[in-house]
Each structure stands twice: as C-alpha cells, then as structure tokens.
Amino acid sequence: MVKKCSKCNKPSITFIRYNGTHLCKEHFIEYFEKRVKKEIKKQGKTESGSRIGVALSGGKDSTVTLFMLKKIFSKRKDVDLFAISVDEGIKDYRDKSLKIARENCKEIEVEHHIISFKETIGYTLDEIVSKSKDLGECTYCGVFRRFCLNKKARELELNKIATGHNLDDFSQSILMNFVNGDLEKLARLGPHIKVQPGLIPRILPLRVIPEKEVTLYAIINNIKFYDGICPYSIHALRGKFRDILDELEYINPGTRHSIVKSYDGIKDILIQKFPPAKLNKCKICGEPTSQEICKACELLRSLK
C-alpha cells in the first residue's frame, strides 16, 4: 500500500529515513528548497551587486545547484548569475556532460562560460594520463580544475563560486581529511566565509542535502542532467569512503548530518589553529599561492 505524506494526505513519493517522514511531491520540494535557502543564508550575505558563478559539470548536483540559484536569485535584479564549466578533456565523458550543461543554461538563460585544460595548460586530462603514471588522475584533475575555475572566475569578476557538493560528498571529504590527518585541508573545506585576496570564496548550497534527494529533486522537476561516470573514478580513493559512510548511514541514520554538524562545531577552532596563509603571486603564472610556485605550475613542470 502506498504510504501517505506525513504532512498532508497525498500519496508519499519518498521516505526520509533520517527523520522518519514520508513526503508527497509538493512537500518534498518544499522541504528541499527550504534547506537550500537556509544554507545559502548561513554561508554568507548575498550583497547587492553580487556576481555568483556556478561550477557546472552537467551532472545532477551542479545542475540542481544552478536551477536552485536561478530560482532564488531571479527576483533579485542586483545579483548576476553565471555558469562556468571546466572541460578537462575526458573523451566520451566530459563532451557529453557539457552538451547538457549548454542546453540547460540556454533554457534558463544563464550566461555560460567554458574553460578547457587544453587551451589553459596545453594538455587534455587524457593526454596527461597517457604521459604520467606518477600521481593519480584525480590529483592532476583537481589541481588544474581549481586553477581553471579561479582563472575564469577572476576574469568574470565573480564574488562567489557555488559548487554542487551534496551531503554525501561533503561528509566524505570531512572523514577523508580526518583519516589522513590533514587538518589544514579540513580547515579550508569551505564554505568560505572570509574573503582572501586573489581567491574566490566557495559556497556549497547542497552540502546538507543527501545525494539521493538531489537526484529525486532533479527527476520530479524534469531537470535534465548527465549521469555518466568518469572513466578514471574507479581509481579514486573516495569510493571506499563512500561505501563506509553508506554503511554507517544505514546502521545509524543521520550519520552524515552529524559529521557535518561536528565539523561546523570545530571549524572556528580549526581556522584559528590554521589561519589562512599569506598568499604570494606564483612566480610563473601569477595565480595566488602560499608557496613561490603554485601547485598547477609545479605539476605542469613535472609533466614537461
């Protein structure tokens, strides 16, 4: 028998295990949007004249982030929204997701910018992988993606970049940094409340929304997204953490939320212990870095 919504009498479309409620379509959408709005407010004031960029891959998380920000800020004429996609150059994967990203931006009339690894650093990720076996694919990908995103965001004079990280991603990152003992990285996970010169602060509007709910929200709102999997993701360590957290969440519903809550509770202390380093300009490319040469230039040098 179909369960009834816990808030009204309509048939429920989902069961939210961590709080024990059944929700119909309307109440699920309301529940979803309320939390995203609250999170955006919590992550810093959106000043008049703000220029916000969404890091858009075309996957469900970044696409839902874009649609939500459009919905929230479309009434504010003093806020401009942009989408930035990074084309890493992953054949049969990124080309497909970028096509959907383009179509979505066109549909909801958001200015879309694409920046590619090939044009910016000289190599596609596929070329990097065939050249180097030293580090994992995701290490190169992550460093160069951040580099491209920051570069484009600065060109567009953005004040904030919104990323699509959901609760599953965010709690995995917290756990991974704890397990690796990387407290400094933990302190910088974002959202970034304080602004550092040269760096564009990140906001994470979906960081308290479970992945499953993001997918459901996209489906019931007919939001098109790309659901392919990166061919290199099988090598990513993150998958192990995902499995562990899924199991913990199953045994103890609410685990992921508790991890984020604990993180928020100690974040100020972490930042006090690891205050933002004074940033220099990279001697090669001019991007902000705490060293003499930025990580992207360092990796590029090793590739050459």
Q: Is 286 in the site for ligand SF4 (CB under 6 A)?
A: no
- Measured distance CA(103)–CA(34) in Å, rounded: 27
Q: Is 142 in the site for ligand SF4 (CB under 6 A)?
A: yes
- Residue 172's CB: how many other CB atoms inside 10 A? 23
| Tokens 């150059």 sit on residue | 89
Q: Is 230 in the site for ligand SF4 (CB under 6 A)?
A: yes
Q: Which is nearer to ligand SF4, 145 or 207 (CB)?
A: 145
Contact 33, 62 (CB under 8 A): no
Q: Which does 113 bind (CB under 5 to 8 A by kind): ligand SF4, Zn ion, none?
A: none
CA dihedral 63, 69, 74, 79 (to 10 degrees): -120
Q: Is 226 in the site for ligand SF4 (CB under 6 A)?
A: no
Q: How far is the CB of 73 from ligand SF4 (least distance, A)?
A: 27
How many residues sit close enough to ligand SF4 to count as binding (CB under 6 A)?
9
The H or E element spanning position 257 is helix 255-273
> Max Cα separation, the chain?
66
- Measured distance CA(151)–CA(286) in Å, rounded: 10
Name the residue type at position 27.
H
Binding mask 10-49 for Zn ion (x = CB under 5 A): x-------------x--x----------------------
Contact 191, 202 (CB under 8 A): yes
Q: Is 290 in the site for ligand SF4 (CB under 6 A)?
A: no
Taking alpha carbons only, the member of 162, 164, 178 closest to residue 245 is 178
Q: Which does 27 bind (CB under 5 to 8 A by kind): Zn ion, ligand SF4, none?
A: Zn ion
Binding mask 50-89 for ligand SF4 (x = CB under 6 A): --------------------------------------x-
CA dihedral 142, 238, 28, 59 (to 10 degrees): 40
Q: Is 180 in the site for ligand SF4 (CB under 6 A)?
A: no
Q: Is 11 in the site for ligand SF4 (CB under 6 A)?
A: no
Q: Is 176 in the site for ligand SF4 (CB under 6 A)?
A: no
Q: Mention every residue, 6+ apart, whose C-beta is less than 8 A from residue 108.
A: 66, 67, 70
**Segment near Zn ion (CB under 5 A); pick from 60-68, 193-201, 245-253, 286-294:** 286-294
Q: Using CB under 5 A, pick the residue from 114, 279, 285, 303 that binds Zn ion.
A: 285
Check the CA dihedral 155-160-166-169 and report its sign: positive
Q: Which does 232 bind (CB under 5 to 8 A by kind): ligand SF4, Zn ion, none?
A: ligand SF4
Q: How far is the CB of 254 from ligand SF4 (least distance, A)?
A: 28
The residues binding Zn ion (CB under 5 A) are: 5, 7-8, 10, 24, 27, 282, 284-285, 287, 294, 297
The residues binding ligand SF4 (CB under 6 A) are: 88, 137-138, 141-142, 230, 232-233, 236
